[in-house]
Structure 1
Amino acid sequence: MSVSSNTTELAQLHELIGGLRRCVSSLSSRYGDTPAMRRIVNDAERIMNDIDRLDIDAEELELTRGVSHHHVGEKIAIPDTQYASDFWRDVDDEGLGGVR
């Protein structure tokens, strides 16, 4: 899915949400504050909040799209030789979870 199709789909979704808001507002003014109307208003608000979260998630997905998660750069050789014992002085040995 391309960025432009994502943008178009989200724009269409926002148009639909605008229609939902208008319909709920119209119903609310017609039927007043009844239990059924409160449920409709609550459901519509929940949907609108979910769409707001979808926008946030879509932005996050676009930021991570195409980004390499591994660093490509200069390789540093690490010798296989033993380090001098002075190198480890004053370092706590936590091991790999084993008992000493």
Structure 2
Amino acid sequence: MTAPEIVELRRALGRLRQCVGSLRSRYGDVAAVQRLANDIERMDIDATELVELDRTPRQREAPRVEREVVVVPDTP
């Protein structure tokens, strides 16, 4: 991710935290609000990992799949 994308992501996470705080004030610390807060925390952790990666994006390697060829005869 580029620096502007990271900045925007951090802003969005901050806004989400504020919204969850408002929800917590209204509904209390119910399971649904806890899950939302945990989701935001997880996204923040993932964003931090992205920042720590090398600046050059890594290409994903396609998984190596061995395929078995099965011959199906045309005759009944």
TM-score under structure 2 normalisation?
Answer: 0.62
Alignment-derived partner of residue 44 in structure 1: 40
Alignment-derived partner of residue 16 in structure 2: 20
Cα offset for 1:47? 1.2
Cα offset for 1:23? 0.9
**Superposition RMSD on alpha carbons, in Å?**
1.7
Identity level (%): 39
Matched, 1:54 2:47: no
Question: What secondary structure does 2:2 align onto?
Answer: helix
Q: Larger RCO: Structure 1 or Structure 2 (Cα < 8 Å, ≥ 6 residues apart)?
A: 2
Cα offset for 1:56? 1.2
The structure whose Rg is larger is 1
Alignment-derived partner of residue 64 in structure 2: none
Tell whether the 8 Å contact from 1:24 to 1:40 is kept in structure 2 after alignment.
yes
One-letter identity of the residue aligned with 1:41: A
Which sections of structure 2, spanning at least 5 residues, go unmatched? Answer: 57-76
Question: What secondary structure does 1:28 align onto?
Answer: helix
Alignment-derived partner of residue 6 in structure 2: 10
TM-score under structure 1 normalisation?
Answer: 0.49
Q: Which runs of 4+ in 1 moved over 6 A?
A: none
Which sections of structure 1, spanning at least 5 residues, go unmatched? Answer: 66-100
Cα offset for 1:6? 1.2
